Amino acid sequence: MDLTGLTLEPAVVKALRWIDTHVEPIVEEAIRICEIPAPTFEEAERAAYVKGRFEQLALADVTIDRAGNVRGRRPGAGGGLGVAVGAHLDTVFPKGTDVRVKRDGSRLLAPGIGDNSVAVASLLAMVEALDAGGVRTVGDLYLTCNTGEEGLGDLKGMKVFVADVKDRVKALVALEGMKINRIIHTAVGSRRYKITFTARGGHSWGHFPSPSAIHILGRAIADISRLEVPSDPKTTYNVGVVHGGTTVNTIASQAEMLVDMRSVDIRSLADLERRILGIIERTAKEGDGKATLDLVGDRPAGSIPGTHPVVETCKAVHRALGLQTFTEASSTDVNAALGVGLPGVCISITEGANEHRLDEYIETGPIPTGIKNVLLATVALAGKA
C-alpha cells in the first residue's frame, strides 16, 4: 500500500503543515489535561474540560454518555462506514497525586502525561488540523475520550462506546501516548477475580486449630504458583493483592486476594481460569472454609492478522512518516473492539518512559509526527472525500 497520493493532497498537506506550526499550543493542551486529576472512576472533571473542547471544535452530537465518555462526531461526505477514534481519559494515579507538569528541555515530566494526556490532546489536535486543512472524509469520524481503561476500570467506557458505534464503523483506532513506532493488533485478554475466603477463626490459643481463612488462602496461592502455563500462546497469572486477618493472636475468619489471569488466546485463558478456580474450590473445601468469587475484570482477547487492511494501512502511514514499525500484544482499549469482531488497532503519539510511575515522562520532539500518524491513518481508513 502506497499513501503518497494521500500525503500530496493539498488539503492534507495543509493539515499536516498546521500540526508543524502549532506544536507549542498542542503541548500546552497536553499539560492542561494532565493537570486535571482523572483517576479511574473519577474522570468527570477532565471529561468536562474535553467536552468543552469538543464543543469549541463544532463537532456534532457532543455528549457525555452513560459511561462518562465524551463523544462527538465529525460528519463525512457520506457513502460508507465511518471510523472510530478514541483516547482514554483516566490515569492510574489516585486523587491527591501531584500531577503538575515539569519541563526539562524537550521532556515533559508528570504522572499521567504519557498515559494518556498527550493522546487526548493529540485527538483534539487531529480534529483541529483536519478543520484547518479543510479535509473531508467519506465516512463519519466517531470520536471519544473514554473512561475506565486502566486497571479495574475494565474498559467500561470503550465497551459502551464500541457497542453503540460498531455497526456504523469499519474500525477502531485507539490512541496511547508512548511507543510511536508500535502498532497493536493483538489484544491480551484477562479475567480478574476478587476471591474472599471465610472460615470459623477464633482465638489463636483457645480455639486452635480452628480453620483459618489466611491459611486457606496461603495454600491456594502456593498451589496456583505451581501451575504451568504455555509460553506460546503467552499466558500468565498473578496474585497481586492480599488482605486478611485482624490481630496476631486471632485466627482469621476472612481473607481475600485479587487474581489476574491473562492470555492472547481465548481457549488458553479459559483453561487457566478453570484450573485456578478449581484450586480455589478445592482448598476452601479441604480447609473447612468457603470461597466467594467476584469477577472484577473481563477483558476479551482477540486479534486481526498483520496482513489485515487496517494494519496494512497503519504500516503504510509509518513508512510515509519514516517510522520503524514494530508490533506487540497488549491490553488496551482496542480489546473492546477485537473482542466483538470489530477490526481495530492501537497506535501511539511519542516516546517516553516510566508509565504508571511518579517519574513518568514524554519527549515533545516526536509529537507532531505522532499526530500526523493518527491523522493519516484515520483519513486513509475513512476515505478522503
pLDDT digits (tens, 9 = 90+) for 246-257: 999 999 999 999
pLDDT digits (tens, 9 = 90+) for 302-326: 999 999 999 999 999 999 999 999 9
Domain boundary among 256, 279, 299: 299
pLDDT tier for residue 79 given thresholds of 50, 70 and 90: confident
29 & 121 share domain: yes
Domain boundary among 243, 267, 299: 299
68 & 215 share domain: no
Spatial distance between the Cα atoms of 262 and 264, rounded to a whole number of angstroms = 7
pLDDT at 232 exceeding the cut of 90: yes
- Which residue range forms the structural domain that includes residue 214? 189-299
Domain boundary among 261, 284, 299: 299
Spatial distance between the Cα atoms of 354 and 363, rounded to a whole number of angstroms = 12
Percentage of residues in the chain having pLDDT higher than 70: 100
At 94 the pLDDT is: 97
pLDDT at 178 exceeding the cut of 90: yes
135 & 252 share domain: no
Spatial distance between the Cα atoms of 376 and 126, rounded to a whole number of angstroms = 9
At 4 the pLDDT is: 87
130 & 94 share domain: yes
pLDDT digits (tens, 9 = 90+) for 249-300: 999 999 999 999 999 999 999 999 999 999 999 999 999 999 999 999 999 9
Spatial distance between the Cα atoms of 26 and 55, rounded to a whole number of angstroms = 17
pLDDT at 380 exceeding the cut of 90: yes
At 1 the pLDDT is: 79
94 & 172 share domain: yes
At 195 the pLDDT is: 99
Determine contact, residues 211/200, Cβ cutoff 8 Å. yes
Determine contact, residues 363/352, Cβ cutoff 8 Å. yes
305 & 293 share domain: no
pLDDT at 185 exceeding the cut of 90: yes
The rounded mean pLDDT for the chain is: 98
Average pLDDT for 40-48: 99
Q: What is the CATH number of the domain that holds 295?
A: 3.30.70.360
Average pLDDT for 229-244: 97
Q: How many CA atoms lie within 13 A of 225 on its CB side?
A: 8
254 & 292 share domain: yes
pLDDT digits (tens, 9 = 90+) for 122-131: 999 999 999 9
Q: What is the pTM of this model?
A: 0.93
Determine contact, residues 69/157, Cβ cutoff 8 Å. yes
